[in-house]
Amino acid sequence: MATPFGTNVITSISRRYIMPTLVDVTYHSNLMFFRLNQMNKKVLQGGLQIEVPIVYQQMAAGGFYQGYDLLDTSPSDTVQNAAWDWRQAEVPVSIDGLSLIRADSPEAVVNLLSFLFEQAQVQLADILGTGVWSDAKTNLKFIDGMAGAVDDGTNTATYGGINRASAPWWKSTRTPFSGTFATTGLSQMQTMWGALTDGGRHPTLIAVNQLVYNLYWQTSLAGQSFPVQPEGHDEQLAQNGFTNVVFNNVPMAVDSHISLESGANGAMYFLNEDYFYLYVNPRADFSMREFREPINQDAMVAFVLWAGNMIGVNPSRQGKIVGTFS
> Which pLDDT does position 227 carry in this prediction?
44
Chain segment 256-307, per-residue pLDDT in tens = 999 899 999 999 999 999 999 999 999 998 888 888 998 899 998 999 899 9
Question: How many separate domains does the chain show?
Answer: 1
> Which pLDDT does position 214 carry in this prediction?
96
Q: How far apart are CA 203 and CA 205, in angstroms?
A: 6
**Vertex 97 angle, CA 92 and 99, to 5°:** 85
The answer on pLDDT for 124 being more than 90 is: no
Asked if the structure places residue 62 within a domain, the reply is no
> Which pLDDT does position 17 carry in this prediction?
73
Asked if the structure places residue 233 within a domain, the reply is yes
Chain segment 174-192, per-residue pLDDT in tens = 999 999 999 999 999 999 9
Residue 50's Cβ-side half-sphere holds a number of Cα atoms within 13 Å equal to: 24
pLDDT band for 1, please (50, 70, 90 cuts): very low
Average the pLDDT over 10-34 and give the result.
Answer: 80
Asked if the structure places residue 60 within a domain, the reply is no
For residues 10 and 95, the answer to whether their CB atoms sit within 8 Å is yes
Tell me the percentage of the chain whose pLDDT exceeds 90: 54
Average the pLDDT over 69-81 and give the result.
Answer: 83
CATH number at residue 237: 3.90.1690
Q: How far separated are the first and last CA of the chain, in Å rounded? A: 60
Select the more confidently predicted residue: 120 or 262.
262
Cα–Cα nearest to 189, from 268, 274, 249, 243: 268
* Domain span including residue 111: 7-55+81-166+174-323
Residues whose CB is less than 8 angstroms from the CB of residue 163 and which lie 6 or more positions away in sequence, other chains included: 157
Strands 319-323 and 266-271: antiparallel
- Cβ-based neighbour number of residue 52 at 10 Å: 14
Asked if the structure places residue 75 within a domain, the reply is no
Q: Which residues pair with 90 in a beta bridge?
A: 305
Select the more confidently predicted residue: 257 or 8.
257
Query: Could you write out the three-class secondary structure of the chain?
Result: CCCCCCHHHHHHHHHHHHHHHHHHHHHCCCHHHHHHHHHCEEECCCCCCEEEEEECCCCCCCCCCCCCCCCCCCCCCCEEEEEECCEEEEEEEEEEHHHHHHCCCHHHHHHHHHHHHHHHHHHHHHHHHHHCCCCCCCCCCCCCCHHHHCCCCCCCCEECCEECCCCHHHCCEEEECCCCHHHHHHHHHHHHHHHCCECCECCCEEEECHHHHHHHHHHHHHCCCCCCCCCCCCHHHHHCCCCEEEECCEEEEECCCCCCCCCCCEEEEEECHHHEEEEEEEEEEEEECCCECCCCCCEEEEEEEEEEEEEECCHHHCEEEEECCC
The answer on pLDDT for 200 being more than 70 is: yes
> Which pLDDT does position 326 carry in this prediction?
96
Q: Give CA torsion, residues 285, 291, 292, 293, to 10 deg.
A: 150
Select the more confidently predicted residue: 133 or 61.
133
What does pLDDT average to over the chain? Answer: 88
Chain segment 210-264, per-residue pLDDT in tens = 999 999 999 887 665 444 445 567 888 888 889 899 999 999 999 999 989 999 9
Asked if the structure places residue 63 within a domain, the reply is no
Asked if the structure places residue 120 within a domain, the reply is yes
Asked if the structure places residue 1 within a domain, the reply is no
* Region of poorest pLDDT, from 1-15, 128-142, 258-272, 290-304: 1-15
> Which pLDDT does position 2 carry in this prediction?
41
pTM for the model stands at 0.88
Asked if the structure places residue 2 within a domain, the reply is no
